[in-house]
Every structure is written in C-alpha cells, then in structure tokens.
A and B are shown apart, each in its own frame.
Chain A
Amino acid sequence: MEFFSHQTNFRFMATRKVWFALSIILMVASLALLATRGLNWAVDFTGGVTAQASFPASADLSAVRTRLAAAGFHDAVVTYVGSARTVSIRLPPERGRTSTELSSRIEHALRQVNPGATVSSLSVVGPQVGSELKHSAMWALAFTLLFIFLYIAWRFHTWRLSLGAILAVVHDPILVLGFFALSHISFNLNVVAAVLAVIGYSLNDTVVVFDRIRERFEGNRRLAPEVVLDQAINQTLSRTIMTKVVTSIVVVALLVLGGPVLRGFSAALLIGILAGTYSSIYISSAIALQCGLTAEHIFPTVKKTAVDHLP
C-alpha cells in the first residue's frame, strides 16, 4: 500500500504567497482571539481549588451550583467532564482551609443533590505558585526556541533555514493557543507540555525537509533554489503524511481513551500536529527561499565531506 505510487510534483514554492497570506490570517485571528477572549487558565496557573466529583446517575448542573452556593461557594464554575456523571468544580482561592475540610464541605453540598455523590479528587494551588509556573513556562519556551535556532544554524550552515524553521515553529503554537482561546478548553500545565512537544514535532518534519534540501543541493548545485526546494518537499511528502497519520492514530487513541485529565493535552497535540505538517510543507522552506537561500549558503566554498557517521 502506498499513498503516492508515483513521485508527486506539486509546485509549492510558486504558490508560496498564498500560503503566507493564509498563515498570516490564521495567526492574526489566533492572536486576536487570545487578546479578546483569552485563555481559560486552569487552577495550575491562577491558583484556586478544583474538585472532581462523581455521581451515581447524571447530575443536574444547576442544582449542583445552587447547592454549592448555599454552602458558601458562590463563584463555583461547574462543568461536566467526560460524562454527565462526572462533574468538575472550580473555585477561587480559599484562605486557611485544608483540602480535607473543603472536600467534606463540597461533598456535603453535593449529597443534597444526590446522596451517592463523592468527591474523587481535589487540589488547591496557592496564587504565587501559579504565577511562578507561568514564568517558568515562558522561559522553557524561549530556551527551546533559542537552542533549536542554534542547532539548525550549526547543522545547516545558514541562518536562513534557521529562521524558516523558527518562524514555522512560532506559527504552530500560536495556532494551538488560538484554538484554546476559541474553544475555551481549560489551559493547564499538561497543555503547556503538549505545546512544547508540538514544537519538537513540527521541527521534526521541517528538519527532514531541510535535510533533503541539503542533499539535493549537494548533487545539483546549478539547479534553481525554487526547483530544489519543491523537489525536496515532494520527495519527503509521502513520509511526512505517513508519519503524521501514524502519530495521529496514537494521539486520537489518547484523546478518546485518555480521559479528562489528558483531553486538553491530546487536543493540543492533534491541532499542533496538523499545523506542524502544514507549516513544514508550505511555510518553513518558503521562508528560507524568500530570504534568498542558495546552494552557496549550505556549502560555502569547499565541498563538504560527509559528517554523518553510520551506526
């Protein structure tokens, strides 16, 4: 079985302006959503209380809210997770209460809705812990981008490819964040991990294409860069699609079976993988071309001897 039984010959570079425009529109839309609607920050970052409760039968959310308000929890955000029998409750930070106290008060309130209700998990995060986590996530992102930029510049001898890779890589998480602003799925620490993994994955594809660009340039120095880039993308296309299909299989398995804890995580991965595939095919190489990439940049003067050692 093969997706492409013959070598494809799409002319990606010729239409690059269209894809640039599309990406810019999507990114602007994502940023606008982030600015106006914002992310639904989870308790991990804001500080506060989250509890998960299970009911023997489907729970009536408005009854749950009323009972919680009567018990003194006025700003409770109550939603279903997974099924109508599992309910997530979010509360603003409470001072000076232990989780056990909170848990029993919440359980007491829920038992008035249904006597069989139980609190299955509860977590309390102090506000300063949350803001510190935001900081460390930012640093993690910045360092990841920096190191990757340096590695690619070193391996491929030119900042043009580095820049293409980094712009494509900035592009993907922005779209993921835009999706989270749009869907208002809770943005927790696991999602941050997924976003960083997306960066790694998206690069993975881009680097495979770059590797082929290097190889093509080595053999055909006089070919127009535009042609070389198109060839490189076409020749790696079946691999790109195949890998993404397989990775999507596992991510969809996680999304469907991983339960509520991993839902945001797997959604972020799925969106990121889609965006990453798109950007590594249409954007990253096109940017390098736009910056005037030629064979000279990758192989400056002396022909490079093979640096790769075989296992």
Chain B
Amino acid sequence: MLEYARWKYILIVLVLVVALLFALPNVFGQAPALQLAHSDHTPVTAAEVRTVSAYLKQQRIPFTGTYLQNGRLLVRFGNESAQFRAQDAIDREFKKEYLTALTLVPRTPAWLRDLGLKPMPLGLDLSGGLELLYQVDTRSAVKQLVRMYTQDAAHALAAANVPVTSITDVATGGSDLPNTVRITLGPGAAAKKATAALAGPLQGLSVSSSAGSSGAVVAATVPAAMINQRENYAIEQAITILRNRVNALGVSEPIVQRQGNDRIDVQLPGVENMAEVKHLLGQTAMLEFHLNDTENNAYEAEQTGNVPLGDKLYTDTPDGQPLLLKREVIATGDQLTGATVGEGPQGPQVNVTLDSRAGENMLRTTKENVGKGMGVVLITKHVVTREVDGKKESHVVTTEKVINDATIDGVFSNQFMITGLTLGGAQDLAILLRSGSFLTPISLVGQSVIGPSLGAENIKMGVGALVLGMAGVLIFMFIYYKVFGLVADAVLVSNVVLLTALLSMMHASLSLPGIAGIILTVGIAVDANVLIYERIREELRKGVSPQAAIRAGFDKAFSAILDSNVTTGIAGLVLWIFGTGAIRGFAVVLTLGIGTSMFTSLMGSRALVTLMYGGRRKLAHLHI
C-alpha cells in the first residue's frame, strides 16, 4: 500500500485551481483598442464613458467594450478600421478633452478583469515599439550642488563684510569631482568670523580652517552621504520627469524604470516612428514665477480679448478662472533647486528652494508686493499624432498652465513654502515644480525600434517552438515510459500552467528569451521525472515489489533532484541579479521554473502515481 497525506492532495488541487485562474487571462489574445486620457492626468469618470459610448453609437462605429483602467478609458474594437475611424471621430468631437492613442488590449472577459487578473504584458520584442536608454549625468548634479554652496558662501561672506581673496571648489579626499568649497580669506580677516558667517549657508558640511601662506583658509567639505543623496535625487528626478512626459504622450502601458546605477530605461510599446518622442523626452519643461496683475480685470480681458500691456492672460488655472499675470519673470525653473512636500501649521505644504540669484530677485519683489498674488506657470510641449489621408502626422503643441496662484504673505528670498493645499495637491504641485526645475543632463545611450510585424512574427515563432517542443517531449515521454509517461505529461503541462500563473501574478513582461526560458523549464521538469522513473525501473530490476519500487524511486531520487535543481537555480539567480532587459526576463522564468518543476514533479507526480497504484493490494506489474 502506498499512502500520501490528504492535506497534500488538497494543497495540490488548491494550487492548481489558483494557477489555472491566474494563467487563464493569457489565452484570450489581444484586440485593437483606443485609449482616452485627460492630458492633465485627472481620471476619466463613468459619466464620460457613457458620453463617449453614446457618441460612438451615434456615429455608427461598432465597438466591443469599454472599461476604465488607471484613470484612462479603453474602448475595444473588433477590427482595426473601426479603431481608426473611432480615433478620427473622437479627436474631432472631443478635441480638447482627451489625448487618444491607438493600442492593443487583452481580450480578457470582464469577470476576470474584475477579479484583477491580467495577462502577462508583452515585452517590446513581441509587441513592437520603441525602447530608449538614458544615462543620467550625476556628476553634473554633484558639481551643481557644490557650485551652489560656493555661491552661497560668497554671498554670506560679502554680507558679513569678511574680506575674501578667493573662493573655489576643489576636489579633496581622493574624490575625482569637486566636493569642497575652499575659501582663502583676505589679509586681516579672522577665520572665526568667517566660520560664524558660514554656519547658516553651509549647514551640514564639515568646516575646517587653517593658516595659509597668503591668509587664513577655510575649507568646507560636502560629506559623501550628501553627495550620494544628491545623485539619487538627480536620478529620481529624471525618472519622474521622464515618466510625466511619457504620460503626456498618451502611449498605453509605458515603462520608465531605473536600470543599474545611473541609467533609465524607457519602453513605449506600439510607438514606432516618432522622432519627436526622443526630442520631447530630452527637453526641459519651463517653469516661471510671475506677479498677479491686480489692477485689471481678467474676465473683462477674456471677454473683450484686450489684454493689458505687459500682461498675459491664462485660462488654464487651478480654479478654472481666468488670470492675468505680469509678463516680467521673477524666477525660472532652472533656478529652482528643490521642491519637497512638508507638513506645516496650516496643513500640507510645498517647501521651495531657489538659488541665490533668484533669491535676491524674490526678496526685492516680495518686499514691494506683500498681500498680492504670485502665479507659477508650467510650459510644456507634447506631440499630437493623427491620421491624415492614411498617413500619421505629428506636430508639437505647447501648453501654458498656471499650476499655482498664491498670496505673498511676507517677505522671503530663496526659501519659502506654498501652503493651503491638500496632501494630494501638495504632492502634485511638488512633482510639477520639480519637472520644471533644474534638470540633470540626461543623454541617450541606446535606442531600439521593433516593428509591430516583427513583434507578431516573434510571437508566432516563440509559440510555435513552444508547442512543437512540448508536443515532442509529451509524445516521447509516453512512448518511453508508457503510463508513467502520461503522468509525466500531466505534470509537464501543469508545470507550464503554474509558471504562466506565477509570471502573470508578478506582472513580469514576457519577451522572446522568456519564452525560451519556459521551453527550457519543460526540459528541467522532465529531468526530475526521468530521475524518479529510472530509479523505479532500477528498483524493479532488483526484484523489488512494484509498490516498494515506487516508494524507493521517489525517496531516493529526491536528493539528486534537489541538488541538481539548486545548482541550476544558482546560475538562474546570478543571471537575475546581474542581467538586464531580456536576460533578466530569461533568468526570472528559469529560476521560477525550477521552483514550479520541483513542486509539480515531486508532489504532483507522487500524488498522481499514488492515486493510480497506491490503493491496489495486488499489483504485479507497472507500466513503465
């Protein structure tokens, strides 16, 4: 008699049911769709969905479904011509409201989608699209930080009337970048007075003074932790900015992620021939601080079209009311060095830091204008693509938007806060401010375009290889091991289901090397079964009874299966850690596949065999 604990059967059945559910969304394929998003990222509402569907019905454009996802509306079509017609019609009718983008969406039924189940997203090599690899110049971010301290030190010393011979930024302590502000004081100047004056502006730096040949020397070094922090800030900032600009493109399911130390990987599925994309992604949004014009009426200006001299009229404002701002610029985004969310006595606030030059300007302006308003304008550019005579044409549209308009409550210079915001509002404002602030230079170090037809061909080839390889293995196993071969086949199929489910759960994107990984996993799962069955045969040859042979086969093969899988797993994990892009995709599949194949071969296979042979009292022969 062979026995296998009941809880193990229950566990196996449970795992398989869950796996089937998670793997299921992958079998439905994709349908052409149109994505509608608001250019300011506010979510599309259910009422708008009804308006759009009613309009499409009225235009007699057939569509197969609508749903909201991440605040965007997706409309699914049966064919591409309906998709094109719908885009034209919607662009005409709702021109100002939505950014539209052609896309492919999974044909997953609504009940699966409602459960939050999604198929694996396809990698660019399978979906087609544009991939850009940017390098963030963190060195220049560090240089800018040290230069800012140097300028601030010069200002502070001048204000305290300390004579200075020279102020420079130098590299010390083995650094290959300037990390120290070095000040040589003028004759007769006391180092003590200088360090006292510098205490404020150079807070956090390690300051030391010594006597030099031409006067006292004060050196302030930026600690390594601060430099590190600046580098990380630069990369995070670049990612935020790229993500915002990518979102403005209206591409569906874009990926913007950090890669390695100082690289950013941008993947735009479905985008092919957009020269402007790169142009735009590499460009800085502009940010400008303007005073409000409180003497003239903005409504009047809007209605009559007569904008007072020296003013500019803005209609895209936070409260939707028209606003007149003076044309004179108080500060620009490249003078903004920080914008962070904080908590003040009046609730959430955004803390803004400007450089010293803008600070002076701000001081002068606020002295004269306490009680008046100041507006912050964000100027961005985005690409609009539409079909003209069957050809895609794209042009750049500039939008100017007032992102904040606040009253000047007091006199301030280079540090101030914007209050009276909600927490979400403060976060949004900080992101918008940062997106227009000093941008660490990024350069394009790699790019690739994959045409959609090549993507479709890659899918076909990958799936073809998978099906043929699987079929070959399944047939071979049946011929070689007969009934036990069928058990192995069931195990292999459930292994692929389990692996697909795991990958879908992780939302790992599937690339061609990933498909190769799935195919190889079939090989690994077979190996575990072969080890067990060969062992059973060996025991049978020794003359052991069938049931004892089965037990011995599973027991004795275990250590070999464990050790051999762990070693392959080590190779997989190292690839996972060191690899990027497609290699990582392969490694993820390989490593997970080893786990699933251990589970299915050891537990699943044993459960099945026990079920078939365990209960029989007289078992003379095994079909193996």
Contact = CB atoms under 8 A, between A and B. Distances in A.
Interface string B458-472: 100110111011101
Interface stretch (A23-31, A33-41, A142-150, A281-289): A142-150
Nearest to A156: B563
Interface stretch (A11-19, A62-70, A234-242, A290-298): A234-242
Interface in A89-109: 98-101, 103
A229 interface: no
A143 B526 CA distance: 27
A246 B526 contact: yes
Contacts of B458: 259, 261
B301 interface: no
B457 interface: yes
A92 B235 CA distance: 30
B555 interface: yes
Given A126-B445, A246-B530, A250-B473, A193 B606 contact: no
Contact of A266 (B133, B278, B516, B522): B516
Contact of A253 (B465, B477, B578, B586): B465
A143 to B, nearest CB: 5
B595 to A, nearest CB: 13
Contacts of B577: 140
Contacts of A147: 570, 574
A245 to B, nearest CB: 7
A126 B446 contact: yes
A190 B583 contact: yes
A190 B526 contact: no
Nearest to B479: A1
Contact of B448 (A99, A253, A257): A99
Contacts of B556: 215
A2 B476 contact: no
Q: Chain A: interface residue count, which band?
A: 35 or more
A60 interface: no
Interface in A261-282: 261-262, 265-266, 269
Given A121-B451, A190-B583, A242-B480, A151 B567 contact: yes
Among A1, A197, A203, A266, max chain B CB count under 10 A is at A197
A119 B555 CA distance: 56
Given A140-B575, A250-B519, A250-B523, A310 B558 contact: yes
Nearest to A122: B449
Contacts of A305: none
Contact of A308 (B449, B562, B572, B606): B562
Given A250-B473, A310-B555, A196 B563 contact: no
B479 A120 contact: no
B348 interface: no
Contacts of B275: 98, 100-101
A75 interface: no
Nearest to A141: B574
B538 interface: yes
Contacts of B575: 140, 144, 193, 196-197
Interface in B566-590: 566-572, 574-575, 577-583, 586-587, 590
A139 interface: yes
Contact of B559 (A1, A100, A211): A211
A204 B567 contact: yes
A140 B446 contact: no
B578 A239 contact: no
Given A120-B451, A203-B567, A250-B473, A258 B446 contact: no
Nearest to A132: B260
B15 to A, nearest CB: 13
Contacts of A132: 260
A239 B534 contact: yes
B449 A121 contact: yes
A253 B602 CA distance: 27
Contacts of A205: 564
14 contacts: A100-B278, A118-B451, A122-B449, A125-B445, A147-B570, A193-B579, A200-B570, A200-B572, A205-B564, A235-B538, A246-B523, A249-B472, A250-B473, A253-B465
